[in-house]
Chains A and B, each alone.
Chain A
Amino acid sequence: MNKLLEVKDLQTHFIMKNEVVKAVDGVSFTIYEKETFGLVGESGSGKSQTCRSILGLVKKPGKVVGGEILYKKQDVVKMSKDQLRKIRGHEISIIFQEPMTSLNPVLKIRKQIFEAFDRTDMTKEEKRKKSIELLKLVGIPSPETRMEEYTHQFSGGMRQRAMIAIALASEPNLLIADEPTTALDVTIQDQIMQLLNQLKEELGMSILLITHDLAVVAQMCDRVAVMYAGMIVEMTDTFTLFSTPRHPYTNALIQSLPNQKGANERLEPIHGAPPNLADLPMGCPFHPRCNFAEELCRTSRPELTDLTPTHQVRCHFLNKTVGFKGTFTPDTKQGGCDGENS
C-alpha cells in the first residue's frame, strides 16, 4: 500500500507565559491510501491538535515545534502559506463536529459548493451538474431545489451531509473527519457513519477519523491509534485493538463502557482524572491511574514498541497486559454478522 500521510514525531506545544502545554508530544503514524485511520482519545488527549497541525490550523500560542508531516512526501510544516492553501481544501478536506457553525449561514448551499470549484475552469453549468451529483451522492433528496436553500433550512443530519458534499467537491485524497457524528442522534449517526464508509469505498479516498467514541471507531476504522496526554499509547488494526487490547489505558477505556457489562456487574471506571498537560507526571503519563503501575513506571517513560509489526504499545510491562478482555472474540465471530446485537 502507498503511504498518503506520514506524521513523524510531531510535537505541538502551547507556549504560555509561565508554562508549556505539550498538547501533542511526539506523535508518529502513517495513513495509507484508501484506509480509514482513527485517532481516539478523551478530551485533552491531543487528537484534535494533531489534526489541526496537519492542516496548519493550530491556534496561537500553539505551534508545531518539532517533527514532520509528510503529505505525499512533502513536508506540510515547512510549506509556505500558498502551498498549504493548495493542499488544504483541495487534496485534504475536513468536516467538523458542528455543521451549523462551520457552514456559512448567509450563503446558499449551492454557493458554498461552488467555492470548492473556484480554482477549476469549469463552466457554471458543469459546476451545477457536479453539485447536484455530489448532493445526490451524500443522500440529500431533490438536490436541485435543496441547493438553493440556506443551512438553517436543513436539519442536523442534512447539514452534516451538505458539509460532507462540500468537503468532497474538491475530490480530496484525504478527508479529515473531526468528531463527525458526535452532535448527532443515534439514528442519524448510524446514517452518517454508513455514508462515510460507503463514500470511502466508492471514491477511494482515505479518512482520518477523530473521535472519543470507541463504538464509532469499531464501526468505521481500519487502523486506530489510542491517544493519552498528547502521546499515542497503542496503535494497531481495529480488529486487534478490540479483540486483544494490550495497553492498560485502552483496556480501561473499554471496561469503563456500560455496553460491556451486564446489569449487575459494576462498571470499572478509570480512577482519577486526566493529567495536566503543562505538568505531566514523571515516567509514564498514565501511571497515576494505572492498576499495573510499578516503580519503573513512575520514573521512566516507556517507548512505543513493536509488539508485532502491526501492533505498537507504549508500556513497560507488556507481560502483564496479556489476556485483557476485548469486545469480541475473534475466532467465533469472524466474517461479520448483520443486525444481531450480542
Chain B
Amino acid sequence: MMRHAKKREIPIWATKPAFIVGIIIVVTAILISFFPQFIAPYDPIEVNSKAILVAPSAEHFFGTDNFGRDVFSRVIWAARIDLQIGVFATIVPLIFGSMMGLIAGYYGGVVDNILMRIIDILMTFPFTILVIVIMTILGQGMRNIYIAIWLVGWMAYAKLVRGEVLVLKNAEFIEAARVTGFSDKRILLRHMLPNVVSSAVVFAASDVVLCMLTGASMSFLGLGVQPPTPEWGAILNEGRAYIMNAWWITFFPGLFMAITGIGFSLLGDGLTDFLRTKGK
C-alpha cells in the first residue's frame, strides 16, 4: 500500500533480477564502446600476414581473420559503432515520433487522419525492407543508414503515443488543465507528455536492438559500414566465406550482438514496471 510514503522501501527496480542483468549488460557495452583502446590488445585494422586465420588462443582470444586481424579487438572496437547506430537511430524517431503522435492525438481531425493513413500503409511493409529500399535510393554509407532508419522508425512511436494520448485526452485532469486556461503547448508538454512517454521509452529500449541489427544487416548486405571499419555485421559478412574452417570470425560478433540485444530487451522490460509504478 502506497499510504506509507515515509517508509523507505527497497526501490522497485532492485527487486527485479532480470532488470539488473539488463543494466549490467548495457552499462558494460557502453563502457566498452567508450574505452575500446584499453581493452582491445591489437589495432583492429592492423593486418598481420604472419597470423592468418589463427584459432582462438591466449594470444588471440577470438582468433584472427583472413587478413590476420585480431577478431577480439575488432569485435570490441565494433561495439562503439554498433551502439552508436543503435542509440542515434533510436533517439531521433523517439523524439520526432512522440511529438507527431502527441499532436495528431491531441488535435485529431484531418491532420491526424492523413498521418495515420500514411503510417498504416507504410507499416504494412517490414521494417528492414523499407530501410533497404531507402538505402538503395540514397546509396550506401553510415549517414544514409541513419537517415533510412529515421525515416521509417518514427512511425511506430507516433502510433504508440497517439494511442495513449487518445485515452488520456479525456482524462479529467487534462480537462482541468484546459479549464485552468493553460496553453496547448503547456498541456501537451507538461501534462500529457510525462504520462505518455513512458511506453515510448520502454519501446525505445528494445528498438535499440532492432536498429543495431538493422545497421548490422545493412553492413552485412554491403550497404552500410565499409571495410575495413570494424562493425559486427560487417565482420560477420567478411567471415562468412570462412565459416567452415574458421568459425570464430562469425561466432564472436554474433554472440556479442545477441548479448547486447538481450541486455537492452531486459532493460526495456524492467523499465516498463519501473516507469508504470513511479509516481502512482
**Interface residues of A, Cβ cutoff 8 Å to B:** 19, 276, 278
Contacts and interface: CB of A to CB of B under 8 A. Distances in A.
B15 to A, nearest CB: 11
A276 B1 CA distance: 10
Contacts of A19: 1
Contacts of A276: 1, 3
A329 B205 CA distance: 69
4 contacts: A19-B1, A276-B1, A276-B3, A278-B1
A10 B3 CA distance: 27
A276 B2 CA distance: 12
A278 to B, nearest CB: 7
Contacts of B1: 19, 276, 278
Interface in B1-32: 1, 3
Interface residues of B, number: 2
Interface of B: 1, 3
Nearest to B1: A278
A27 to B, nearest CB: 23
A17 to B, nearest CB: 10
A96 to B, nearest CB: 25
A33 to B, nearest CB: 41
A278 B3 CA distance: 11
B258 to A, nearest CB: 36
A326 to B, nearest CB: 35
A276 B3 CA distance: 9
Nearest to A16: B1
B7 to A, nearest CB: 9
Contacts of A278: 1
Contacts of B3: 276
Nearest to B3: A276
Nearest to A19: B1
Nearest to A17: B9
B2 to A, nearest CB: 12
A278 B7 CA distance: 15
A175 B80 CA distance: 68
A19 B3 CA distance: 13
B22 to A, nearest CB: 24
A278 B2 CA distance: 13
A158 B261 CA distance: 53
Nearest to B9: A18
A260 B3 CA distance: 34
A129 to B, nearest CB: 45
A241 B1 CA distance: 35
A64 to B, nearest CB: 22
B33 to A, nearest CB: 40
A330 B266 CA distance: 69
A278 B1 CA distance: 10
A281 to B, nearest CB: 15
A199 B259 CA distance: 66
B3 to A, nearest CB: 7
A89 B1 CA distance: 34
A261 to B, nearest CB: 29
B4 to A, nearest CB: 9
Nearest to A21: B1
A16 to B, nearest CB: 8
A276 B4 CA distance: 11
